[in-house]
Amino acid sequence: MRILQIANAVLYTNITIYNTFAIETVNMSNIASQMPIYYDIYGNTTANTPVYAEIMSNIGGGAAWVEVVSVTTGSSVMTVDESGYFNGGIGIVPTSTDISLVSFYVRAWSGTPTYVSSIELGKNGLSAIWQQNTGYWDQSPGSTPPGATLEMSSPVLVKIQPMPEPSTIALVALASPFLVALFRKQQNS
């Protein structure tokens, strides 16, 4: 009986089982779509602080949005380069079961390691939501995952330096010297 258990263990360790389900993929890059990450309303793409981006996916229009994870790095977070572009390689679209029309958006942020922690600082931004088909990877031995080109429909504006709105008191303080000068001019006339 002991010999049979050892033989089964050896046989089990030498068997390679491949996943028979296909995996949906997308190219985790905004280069082909020419939709960079901007840092201000003037179109600047250079920031003096690291900026990160993630691609979020949604299957079937439900409430759950899930990060697309890179096949090569195992991470969903990508660093944005000085020209406003990111490239995370081929990404796996979670929970997809067949060649699908998937909803996507890109979120970008600065000043913290995660998007959620950047919300309090106001140093983040989102692209518009768009839909596109994904690539199809059957995971056969030696195959390379074919990522569908990311078809971003809008750039992302990340507010690196939040611009506070001027208060009423500040506006009055700025305008008061001009009002005094105007009042004096009218009295002298």
Whether the pLDDT of residue 13 is over 70: the answer is no
Whether the pLDDT of residue 2 is over 50: the answer is no
Cβ pair 82, 127 in contact under 8 A: no
pLDDT value for 19 = 45
Alpha helices in the chain (DSSP H): 2-13, 115-119, 168-188
pLDDT digits (tens, 9 = 90+) for 88-108: 998 888 765 555 688 899 999
pLDDT value for 168 = 64
Q: How far apart are CA 56 and CA 62, in angstroms?
A: 13
pLDDT value for 56 = 92
pLDDT value for 15 = 38
Whether the pLDDT of residue 143 is over 60: the answer is yes
pLDDT value for 145 = 67
Whether the pLDDT of residue 76 is over 90: the answer is yes
Whether the pLDDT of residue 35 is over 70: the answer is yes
Give the range among 44-53, 57-66, 78-87, 136-145 with minimum mean pLDDT.
136-145
Across 148-152, average pLDDT: 85
Closest CA to 69 of 54, 84, 81, 79: 54
Q: 121 — phi, psi (to 5°)?
A: -80, -20
**Entry pTM:** 0.69
